[in-house]
Amino acid sequence: MEKKINIRSASLEELIPIFEAFGEKKFRAKQVYQWLWKKNASKFEDMSDLPLALRAKLDEKFHIDFLSIKDQQISSDKTIKCAFGLEENKVVEGVLIPTTTRTTACISSQIGCSLACTFCATGKLKLLRNLTAGEIVDQVVYLKNQAETRYQKSLSNIVYMGMGEPLLNYKNVLRSIEMITSEEGLGMSPKRITVSTAGIAKMIKKLGDDQVKFNLALSLHAANDLKRNNIMEINESNNLETLKEALVYFHEKTGARVTFEYIIFKDFNDSIEDAQELAQFARCVPCKVNIIEYNAIDEGGFQQADARKVDAFAKYLESKNMIVHVRRSRGKDIDAACGQLANKNNAIKKEERILKA
């Protein structure tokens, strides 16, 4: 039996000749495309304005790579953590983070991760595969619906800061953003979307070449190579000088400001000397800095920095006329905070604990 094709892997231009081969008009392809990306249909039988015969033909040739909900937890601070089931009985997670000023969906791009950052629970998992564009969009749609129905708020921001390295799933990540921002999809502004990378220099340059409109964040966490090598293996092949060159190239191509993410660890990267190194490195491009408090994970080996040192660190950067935000963790009580997911979820069997960071 011929293997079914994932219909969401095809562009509208690729679907049109398929429909013409079925003896259908072009507008049928557009109808299906809208069902897939705007109405988020999970089954062909739900496409009610298509003839039954066409729905049957589609079901014979194609399948829809749709996520299901395996589990959901709600934090005392209203953060929602959702475990999404995939076709091969694996799980990824998305998190909805509501605040007084914004409602953010934090989504995954891969099942597992290959980068093994020492402070991140997801880094302790094996990379199984990339998520498809459809699977990425499904996370956004579900979290968007949760924001609207549970909190009566529109989804204001999307961050690709979950499980996986987005730039190692470049094609599907950019395709998902295309569908989130296009009129055929969700119609969100790309300025509301941030893609976070651990630092793949050649792919940062490719973002510049593609002149992307969304925001770029670099998970920096240390501004000298010795320390960064110690916590992020990727730095050994993409050191700070290489990253600086890539960021300058990206800014020259796009004109966009870069965000530096800096998890601050006790007695590791929380000194004024560390702040000086960060300020020196960050001069390479217009930027802002998000200082993130560390959230403990199993066998993490780090501790949360003292609040007074965090404040002193931030004040030093501000004295250098840098834009600085100290990000407090959300969803700690359900292990939904930054870096915590993938190690605790009582509703899912241990072998299925492949959860987003």
From the candidates 24, 82, 93, 261, which is the catalytic residue?
93
Q: What is the pLDDT of residues 295-328, one digit of tens each?
A: 777 665 789 999 999 999 999 999 999 999 998 7
In whole angstroms, give the CA distance from residue 94 to residue 107. Answer: 5
Check 82, 113, 117, 338 and give the catalytic one.
338
H/E run at residue 287: strand 287-293
Q: Catalytic residue at 82?
A: no
Distance of CA 256 to the CA centre of its chain: 19
Residue with tokens 């079925």: 22
Nearest-angstrom CA–CA distance, 102 and 97: 8
Chain-centre distance for alpha carbon 236:
23
Q: Where in the chain is the domain with CATH 1.10.150.530?
A: 5-63
Given CATH 1.10.150.530, say whether it is the number of domain 5-63. Answer: yes
Which residues of the chain form CATH 3.20.20.70? 68-352
For the chain, what's the residue count? 357
- Of 154, 67, 43, 68, the residue nearest 105 (C-alpha): 154
The SS3 assignment for 30 reads helix
Q: Which residues contact 145 (CB under 8 A, 6 or more apart)?
A: none
- What pTM, to 2 d.p., does this model score? 0.91
**Catalytic residue status for 318:** no
pLDDT by residue for the chain (357 residues), tens only, comes to: 578 999 999 999 999 999 999 899 999 999 999 999 999 999 999 999 999 999 999 999 999 999 999 999 999 899 999 999 998 889 999 999 999 999 999 999 999 998 988 888 887 788 999 999 999 999 999 999 999 999 999 999 999 999 999 999 999 999 999 999 999 899 999 999 999 999 999 999 999 999 999 999 999 999 999 999 999 999 999 999 999 999 999 999 999 999 999 999 999 999 999 999 999 999 999 999 999 988 777 665 789 999 999 999 999 999 999 999 998 766 555 555 454 445 344 444 433 333 333
For domain 68-352, which CATH number applies: 3.10.180.10, 3.40.50.300, 3.20.20.70, 3.30.1330.60? 3.20.20.70
